[in-house]
Structure 1
Amino acid sequence: MAEDFNSRVIREFRENDGRVGEPFAGLPMVLVHHIGARSGAERVTPLRWFADGDRYVLVASKAGAPDNPAWYHNLKANPEVVVEIGDGQGSVETRRVHASELPGAERDRMWTWIKENNGGFAEYERATDRTIPLVALTPS
């Protein structure tokens, strides 16, 4: 059975001190350990992160799908999580964080910056009618 995309990224992240291959080569990544909102099962999801002061911001884009990703719902239900944070250059740190959705103007400011500096996210926005949530991970 072929290794799925997320499993491959998680393996590469752990084997290479936070560095992964395409399409994320050289980018800061995080492995978010979260608990299923309905199942209670532990999950690990690899995601790209963006710095905002001392916070790590995640984009719940699901590549422009009409619904939010499962990890978003899980973080809303269980916001106290552990993350493995990689800078994309060979440094990884494990931290406890609190997840919270960015509200209104704060979300809009960060979303504008993300889209201006990472074109693929603007494409995701055009592909969906929903407002794409941003989730801040603040160290506990």
Structure 2
Amino acid sequence: MVDQAQRREWNQKVIEEFRANGGVVGGSFAGSDLLLLTTRGARSGEQRVSPLAAITADGGEGRRWAVFAANGGRPTRPGWYYNLSADPVVTVEVGTETFQAVAEDATGAEREQLWAVMLERLPSLDDFQTTAPGPIPVVVLTRR
């Protein structure tokens, strides 16, 4: 596994590529729906940007997106997930569009349906579940 500094450097390259190419990136995200999620640090109050694989949660209308707090298979939740508990209002970048959204954990049948769709697109997510500290949270970002 890569250390935190390497992960930040890799994420920064993905963020720069995303913004330079209207939301299209190569590498491990090539062909995937990707968004940039900006949260406010729970302790620092600083803006944090995270590139995340995502799916629409509204049949393709683009008002709701789902992201998955898998943290690349690490045995902890990602920092952005903890930031949401302090402030669920986020900024989302999809393609060339930027908008404010409210983040909320999906539950019940909605969570299961979104999880199933993402597993079809990203089967490695199932491997991440084996090392996660419980069910991987599915977070729905609803446009304000």
* TM-score, length of structure 1 as denominator length: 0.88
- 1:77-115 Cα shifts (integer Å, max 9, x gaps): 1111111112xxxxx211111111111332122112221
Looking at structure 1, the residues matched to 38 and 93 of structure 2 have their Cα atoms a distance apart, in angstroms, of 8
Establish whether residue 72 from structure 1 lines up as the match of residue 81 from structure 2.
yes
Establish whether residue 11 from structure 1 lines up as the match of residue 21 from structure 2.
no
In the TM superposition, residue 63 of structure 1 has moved relative to its aligned partner by 1.5
Is 2:90–2:101's contact at 8 Å kept on the other side of the alignment?
A: yes
Aligned to 1:36: 41
Looking at structure 1, the residues matched to 120 and 85 of structure 2 have their Cα atoms a distance apart, in angstroms, of 27
Query: Does the residue aligned with 2:119 lie in a helix, a strand or coil?
Result: helix
Is 1:76–1:99's contact at 8 Å kept on the other side of the alignment?
A: no
* TM-score, length of structure 2 as denominator length: 0.86
In the TM superposition, residue 129 of structure 1 has moved relative to its aligned partner by 4.4
- 1:105-131 Cα shifts (integer Å, max 9, x gaps): 321221122213321111111233411
Aligned length: 135
Once superposed, which parts of structure 1, at least 4 consecutive aligned residues long, lie more than 2 Å away? Answer: 126-129
Among all aligned residue pairs of Structure 1 and Structure 2, give the percentage whose two residues are the same amino acid: 39
Q: Aligned to 2:92, which of 80, 83, 103?
A: 83
Is 1:99–1:135's contact at 8 Å kept on the other side of the alignment?
A: yes
Looking at structure 2, the residues matched to 72 and 25 of structure 1 have their Cα atoms a distance apart, in angstroms, of 24
Task: Kindly report the root-mean-square deviation, in angstroms, between the aligned alpha carbons of the 2 structures.
Answer: 1.8
